[in-house]
Amino acid sequence: MIKLAIDLGSSMTKIYRADTNSGVVLAEPSCVAVVGEEERVKAIGKEAKNLIGKTAERTSIIYPVYEGEIVNMRLAAAMLKEFLSRIAIKSAALRRAQVLISVPCGISERALASYAALTEECGLKKVWFVEQPYLAALGAGVILTDTDPVFCLDIGGGVSNAAVISADGIIAGLSMNVGGNNMDANIISKISNNNKLLVGALTAERIKNEIGSLAPGALGTIVAEGSSTETCQPSATSVQAGDLTDCIRVYINKVLEYASEVLRTLPAEVAAIVNRNGVYLSGGIMKIPYVPQYIGSKLGMRYRVCEEPQFAAVLGGGVLLRDTVLLRHFAKVIEA
């Protein structure tokens, strides 16, 4: 039987196939390009993302899963159906497939119901919903027990999750609408103010991913292209990594504020174990140099970064799908 773990991330959708050795079978931007008032679908995934900021007025790019919530059901369904077709599984096999969906920590009943409606619309019949921190922990290779709680912190594109969990459940946790998208937006205003250059969202993300760093004295340089804010003409300027540090750090600090709230509520014994075990870090933002070190030093604890931080949740989904007993234990809703 086909087994799929799906992470409908704000930035990127990831699908992991657990019944074969295929591993991650899809990683595509979670966006759809639509045309006109009727929002006719023009492109999905990589092709749609590539159009960001380059289209004429009639085309817009929509992220149907925004900050962990399904904000446009029709387009979310079109996107997920297309991704499922790209991994070449026939619809009859999909109906029988076991599917695990990662959802934000502490998801509301209403938001969970939208995920259920989405999967039903996509013809998926056996679906489990599991809160992201369990999956991130399992994806990091943690063996969850009742007596050894772990602290997981994931920073993605639109959402961050912080939770202390054990095999018994989430002891304390929350998700917050803070992530890489905020950093990209901050980079746009910084370059506009400092360099008098307006760059697009794609360029800002690329700059963050290529030279972004929290290393003391970060040295990277990149040529950014866009339009001059003074002459409105196409223009280019050199941007230094050191100038962007604050754009990243301010949002890491914000996440850490929330994470500290989570830690403050822990019972003393749990706090002692978390202090000993440290924090497990995941999400695409952990790829920015020195972000993990910075988080570890701010929290004053040991840190471990998942081997593939962006894929931690789907890798953990794979672990669960291979272990039926654990799966039933962690699933939020079971649909037969």
Q: Which residues bind Mg ion (CB under 5 A)?
A: 9, 156
CB of 156 to Mg ion, least distance (A): 3
For 4, the token pair is 């799929």
Question: By CB under 6 A, is residue 10 in contact with ligand ATP?
Answer: yes
Q: Are 33 and 79 spatial neighbours (Cβ–Cβ below 8 Å)?
A: no
* Nearer Cβ to ligand ATP (151/270): 151
* Nearer Cβ to Mg ion (133/156): 156
* Nearer Cβ to ligand ATP (7/131): 7
**Among 272, 317, 312, 318, which residue's Cα sits nearest to residue 292?**
312
Give the residue nearest to Mg ion (CB): 156
Determine the number of helices (DSSP H) and then strands (DSSP E) in the chain: 12, 18
What are the DSSP calls for 160-223, one per residue?
EEEEEEETTEEEEEEEES-SHHHHHHHHHHHHHHHHSEE--HHHHHHHHHHH---STT---EEE
In angstroms, the Cα distances linking 157 to 65, 250, 280, 314 are 11, 15, 18, 16
Question: By CB under 6 A, is residue 45 in contact with ligand ATP?
Answer: no
* Nearer Cβ to ligand ATP (163/266): 163
CB of 15 to Mg ion, least distance (A): 13
Among 4, 12, 26, 122, binds ligand ATP (CB under 6 A): 12
Query: Binding partner of residue 12 among Mg ion, ligand ATP, none, CB under 5 to 8 Å per kind?
Result: ligand ATP
Q: Are 173 and 165 spatial neighbours (Cβ–Cβ below 8 Å)?
A: yes
Question: By CB under 6 A, is residue 292 in contact with ligand ATP?
Answer: no
Question: By CB under 6 A, is residue 64 in contact with ligand ATP?
Answer: no
CB of 133 to ligand ATP, least distance (A): 12
Q: Are 129 and 331 spatial neighbours (Cβ–Cβ below 8 Å)?
A: yes
Among 288, 299, 305, 319, binds ligand ATP (CB under 6 A): 288
* Nearer Cβ to Mg ion (156/212): 156
Q: Find all residues with CB under 8 Å of 191, minimum gap 6, and list them.
A: 197, 198, 199, 204, 207, 224, 226, 237, 239
Residues of the shown chain interacting with ligand ATP in the complex, contacts defined by CB under 6 A: 7, 9-12, 68, 156-159, 179-180, 205, 208-209, 212, 283-285, 287-288, 310
